Amino acid sequence: MKPEALNTPSWDAANNLEEGSRQHSEDNEQSCPPTDGVAPKPGKPFLIPDLEFFCTPDREFYICFDRDSKPETVNRVRTAIYKTARLLIKSGCQVKIIDLPAGGEKGVDDFIAARGKEAFDALYNAAQPLSKWQVKLYTLLTYPPSVKMSQRFIGKLSVPDHAKLIVIKAAKGTGKTE
């Protein structure tokens, strides 16, 4: 495949990946080629040819997908990030994940428009390797908390009558077992 055939600014452009091609025009200035990541055919997953072309040993990729609020969508996005990253690593590349923070901005283009290039550069510099990103996912709550407290000790909790499951997440020594 010739570099001219690819929809990227240059064959040696930075390898920053974002979800889909709709946002490509905004992020083209940020050197982010669009990708849908893994080819959608049944069977063994493989990288799409436009992405596979860039897979050379020790090449560094940054992956940044949209931030969604629906739990099912979040799981699908995380799975796509993981699958794409694993295939890139298998090809000998190094991969880092950029996590967009929770907020009103869904994609990279919205984030840059609302918070500026410097804010995105900070996220870019804080990107984590796949292994650290996976560990971070285990520490996250999968559902938004219904009660948030900002106090040293938990104290007395008022539990709703209709509650079927109560999960308490707090630091050591805050009175969870009392």
User: How far, in Å, CA of 172 to CA of 100, rounded?
Assistant: 29
Residues 6+ away with beta carbon under 8 Å from 62: 14, 15, 16, 17, 95, 96, 97, 98, 124, 127
**Residue 168 included in any domain:** no
Residue 3 confidence (pLDDT): 45
Q: How many domains, in total, are found in the chain?
A: 1
Indicate whether 31 belongs to any domain: yes
Look at residue 160 and tell me if it is in a domain: no
Q: Which of 16, 31, 23 is nearest to 66 (CA)?
A: 23
* Mean pLDDT by groups of 10 residues along the chain of 178 residues: 46 55 45 49 78 87 86 87 93 92 82 91 94 87 71 79 78 78
Q: Is residue 72 part of a domain?
A: yes
Q: Tell whether 167 is covered by a domain.
A: no
The domain in which residue 28 lies consists of: 3-138
Q: What pLDDT is recorded for position 106?
A: 82
Would you say residue 89 lies in a domain? yes
Question: Tokens in use for 170?
Answer: 């707090």
What is the pLDDT, as a whole number, of residue 141? 65
52 domain residue, yes or no: yes
Mention every residue, 6+ apart, whose C-beta is less than 8 A from residue 156.
none
Q: What is the pLDDT of residue 125?
A: 95
In-domain check, residue 106: yes
Quick one: pLDDT at residue 27?
44
The three-point CA angle 11-49-67 to 5° equals 85
Whichever domain contains 21, its CATH number is: 3.40.1360
